[in-house]
């Protein structure tokens, strides 16, 4: 008993304090979302009455195209998650398994390019896409396909790097066996590598999905129209500068937007964490 007091009690005490720190904002969001007033002001930390008015408002108010935002976010993040891995995996495979001149330089370029933060070349992306708009208005500045193209470019560096790390850990003997049997590099890729790496590809595309879902600044620059915004841009614009007025619906909206991501994350945490140590820092 004494040992328990000495060893475990303080651990529980510290853990409870940190739990409070972690849970406080989350509890508050639920409190605000379920409060009937929808204001930022907290009158009591214990709910006196529960109302779904804020959720109701989210789906019915014409001023909040919440479903459009949610749909845009899922479509954009989903497309990027699939395409960036399809394209990135091929490059990662080549970097990991093929021998060719300039491999080292290629990897160094990839590493160097990643160090140039995307936001810094934002003005250049803006000017370039403005020019693209002048001859191809459908994929230029201010369009969803344009945003997708820019995201795809940005996802390349990180994904190729991450995927290469995973590919390196797949035993090379399998490829060699295939090669001995007369398979070409392209056949090895499709018949051996892709089926073997499928779970890894799924994890990377999941990380890619989360990253794109969280992207804010490019989306804000590109998607001006209220209905074409992503959830991040929409909710931010919704409360920017006026926390007090729209807080309730915002809280409700962020709960709904977070639930799928949190659920995916918690259920696949084992795989995602192995990706973390391989060098990604989630934004």
Partner 1 sequence: MEKFFNRKVTVTLKYIVVAFTSALLLMLIMSSFAKREYAISGFLTIGLIAIAVTYLTNYSIPMKFFLPGMFFLFAFVVGPILYTVAMSTFHYETGNYISKPDAISRILATGVRPDPNQTTFDIIIGEDSSKNLEILASDPTNKVYFLSTASTKTDLDPATVAVDGNGDATIAPGFHALTPDQQTALDQQIATTRFVYSSAFFITIEGSNVASLKSQTLKYNSSNDTFVNVQTGAVYKDNGVGNYANLTNKTDFLQPGWRAPIWFSNYAKLFTDPQIRKPLIQVFIWTMVFATLTVLTQFALGLLVAMIMNRKLFGRRIYRSIFILPYAMPSIMSILIWGGMFDTEFGAINHLFGSHVPWFQNAFYARAAVIIVNLWLGFPYFYLITSGALQAIPAELSEAAAIDGASNRQIFRKITLPLLLQVVSPLLVASFAFNFNNFNIIYLLTGGGPTNTLGGAVAGSTDILISYTYKIAFGAGTQNLGLASAISVVIFFIIASISLYGIRRSRVLDSFK
Binders in 176-235 for partner 1, by CB under 8 A: 184-187, 189-191, 210, 213-214, 216-217, 232, 235
Beta carbon nearer to partner 1, 212 or 228 = 212
Instruction: Give me the least distance between CB of 131 and partner 1, in Å please.
Output: 5
Q: How far apart are CA 107 and CA 164, in angstroms?
A: 10
Cα–Cα–Cα angle for 102, 191, 76, nearest 5°? 75
Give me the residue label for tokens 């989903």: 78
Q: Is 9 in the site for partner 1 (CB under 8 A)?
A: no
Cα–Cα–Cα angle for 73, 163, 168, nearest 5°? 165
Q: How far apart are CA 220 and CA 216, in angstroms?
A: 6
Q: Is the CB of residue 172 less than 8 Å from the CB of residue 97?
A: yes
25-64 residues near partner 1, rule: CB under 8 A: 25-26, 28-29, 39-42, 45
238-267 residues near partner 1, rule: CB under 8 A: 239, 243-244, 247, 250-251, 254, 257-258, 261-262, 265-266
Instruction: Give me the least distance between CB of 152 and partner 1, in Å please.
Output: 5
Q: Find the binder of partner 1 among 50, 172, 174, 276 (CB under 8 A).
A: 276
Q: Is 107 in the site for partner 1 (CB under 8 A)?
A: yes
Phi first, then psi, for residue 132 (nearest 5°) are -60, -40
Q: Find the binder of partner 1 among 74, 82, 122, 196 (CB under 8 A).
A: 122
Give me the residue label for tokens 């409070």: 20
Q: Find the binder of partner 1 among 93, 162, 228, 252 (CB under 8 A).
A: 93
149-178 residues near partner 1, rule: CB under 8 A: 149-150, 152-154, 156-157, 160, 168
Looking at the chain, the number of H-run helices and the number of E-run strands are 14, 0
Q: Is 22 in the site for partner 1 (CB under 8 A)?
A: yes
Beta carbon nearer to partner 1, 48 or 104 = 104
Q: Find the binder of partner 1 among 5, 124, 180, 198 (CB under 8 A).
A: 124
Instruction: Give me the least distance between CB of 249 and partner 1, in Å please.
Output: 12
Instruction: Give me the least distance between CB of 244 and partner 1, in Å please.
Output: 6
- Size of the residue set binding partner 1 (CB under 8 A): 102
Q: How far apart are CA 24 and CA 27, in angstroms?
A: 5
Neighbours of 250 (CB within 10 A): 24
- Nearest CA-CA partner of 221 in 237, 205, 209: 237
Q: Find the binder of partner 1 among 67, 98, 177, 224 (CB under 8 A).
A: 98
Q: Return the SS3 of 99.
A: coil
Neighbours of 67 (CB within 10 A): 10
Instruction: Give me the least distance between CB of 158 and partner 1, in Å please.
Output: 11
């Amino acid at each position: 008993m004494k040992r328990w007091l000495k060893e475990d009690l303080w651990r529980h005490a510290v853990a409870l304090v940190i739990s409070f720190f972690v849970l406080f904002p989350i509890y508050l969001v639920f409190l605000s979302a379920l409060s009937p007033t929808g204001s930022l002001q907290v009158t009591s930390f214990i709910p006196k009455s529960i109302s779904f008015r804020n959720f109701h408002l989210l789906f019915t108010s014409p001023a909040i195209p919440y479903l459009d935002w949610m749909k845009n976010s899922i479509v954009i993040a989903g497309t990027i998650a699939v395409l960036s891995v399809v394209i990135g995996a091929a490059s990662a495979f080549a970097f990991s398994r093929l021998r060719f001149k300039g491999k080292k330089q290629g990897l160094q370029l990839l590493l160097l390019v990643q160090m140039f933060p995307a936001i810094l070349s934002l003005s250049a992306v803006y000017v370039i896409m403005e020019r693209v708009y002048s001859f191809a208005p459908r994929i230029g500045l201010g369009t969803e396909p344009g945003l997708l193209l820019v995201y795809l470019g940005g996802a390349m560096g990180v994904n190729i790097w991450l995927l290469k790390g995973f590919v390196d850990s797949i035993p090379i003997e399998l490829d060699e066996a295939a090669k001995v049997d007369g398979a070409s590099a392209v056949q090895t890729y499709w018949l051996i590598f892709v089926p073997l790496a499928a779970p890894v590809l799924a994890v990377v595309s999941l990380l890619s999905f989360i990253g794109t879902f969280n992207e804010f600044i490019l989306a804000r620059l590109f998607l001006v129209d209220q209905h074409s915004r992503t959830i991040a841009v929409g909710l931010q614009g919704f409360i920017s500068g006026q926390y007090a007025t729209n807080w309730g619906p915002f809280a409700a909206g962020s709960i709904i937007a977070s639930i799928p991501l949190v659920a995916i994350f918690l259920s696949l945490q084992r795989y995602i964490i192995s990706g973390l140590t391989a060098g990604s820092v989630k934004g």
